[in-house]
Amino acid sequence: MSGPLEGITVLDMSRVLAGPWAGQLLADLGARVIKIEHPKRGDDTRGWGPPWLGQGDSPQEHDLERVAAYYLCANRGKQSLAVDIASEQGQALIRQLAEGADIVLENFKVGGLARYGLDYPSLHKLNPRLIGCSITGFGQDGPYAHRAGYDFMIQAMGGLMSLTGEPDGMPMKTGVAITDVMTGLYATVGVLAALQERARTGLGQHIDVALLDVQVATLANQALNTLVSGASPQRHGNAHPNIVPYQAFACADGHLVLTVGNDAQFARFASLLGHPEWAEDPAYATNAARVGNREALVPMIQSRLLNRQRDEWLADLEARGIPAGPINSLAEVFEDPQVCHRKMQRTLTSGGRDVPQVANPLRFDGESATSDVAPPGIGQDSDRILTEMGLTQDDILRLRNAGVVR
């Protein structure tokens, strides 16, 4: 299937997660994404292991390039051009590519590309249709603009950690670099909007995406809880600040998550527990009442759920249309019948080895928007790209011998 972005060319000059996540999504949507990497180091995440693909913990187990699982999560569908942008020849190659590109993604520190003459204003002069997207920790301006930003730190500064964890425990980060992922998604939305604007005006524009901005924006209801009440929300562990019962509960042999979203569901749940009168009690009949009386209600629910096994409860809850689910390990996630049916685990082939992947969740007319091209090795596509740019094999050899390309 050809993707909706077929014919669009992206220079992905980003590293680690937020920028590459955006680049991978654009590749899944059909764009040609050229990943610009340092000839020796490549993307930082190539070395963020173990685990290593197919090698256990030893890089000597076989001859294939050692690659960390981390790198594989965000670089599907791309071509790799390994070029040293610190060299004048490397800079010239990037400028030539930018002249024919539609989008450039980068996550250098503010001003970092300007010293090479590869910042957006410089490239935009060469190609007025070029769309630039800069991803930084704190944005292109402001008192923190010069600082480096990392997901963990931004979760702390942006308030997410203050909301996560048990009430009497340490504030916690999420188990996934969620700010990076969300920043990649916002960056993609911005790029797609800029493409639509360019279709009307013929001109590209610059998109400034900051991790801290994204973290604050995605506080969602908790941000408005603060702005409306004037008070910072407290941590509720696995409970919800605005809905009850909406949390994890222990059963006789494990745990489940119960997400009762309205009063009708609560009435059915109360009946299942053998206490239909709860649904008529003014202390519990409405969600607002249940939130106000959670300290009394939750222990009563918990005591009853301990009397049976998890899967027995889950079967009865499903039969009554009461939303609930098990707390799965990641291994269990990829064995889940629904996840398997939706083919969320994929396997791509590259260099004679299988590369596991997680599918793009978007589907167009029933077809998954997931590239079938595995994440590239460092400089895997350099010769092809440089040849398409008009360089001869002698030209490429000279650049390679000079350490400009790989």
Locate 236 and state its tokens: 């509720």
Rounded to the nearest 10°, the torsion over CA 9, 15, 21, 24 is 40
Alpha carbon 251 to its chain's center: 32
Helix (H, G, I), strand (E, B) or coil at 117: coil
Catalytic residue, chosen from 180, 263, 372, 395, is 180
Q: Which stretches does DSSP call E strand in 222-370?
A: 246-250, 255-259, 324-326, 345-350, 353-358, 363-364, 367-368
CB-based contacts of 373: which residues, under 8 Å, 6+ apart? 27, 76, 77, 78, 348
Report the alpha-carbon distance of residue 367 to residue 372 in Å, rounded. Answer: 13
Helix (H, G, I), strand (E, B) or coil at 104: strand
Report the alpha-carbon distance of residue 153 to residue 138 in Å, rounded. Answer: 11
CB-based contacts of 27: which residues, under 8 Å, 6+ apart? 10, 33, 76, 77, 78, 371, 373
The Cβ-side half-sphere exposure at 350, using a 13 Å CA radius, reads 25
Residue 256 gets which letter from DSSP?
E
The residues that bridge with 357 in the sheet, in sequence order, are 346
Report the alpha-carbon distance of residue 32 to residue 28 in Å, rounded. Answer: 9
Q: In the annotation, is 180 catalytic?
A: yes
Distances (CA, A) of 244 to 263, 285, 319: 10, 11, 21
Q: Map tokens 């978007």 to a residue.
A: 362
Helix (H, G, I), strand (E, B) or coil at 160: helix
- Active-site amino acid positions: 180
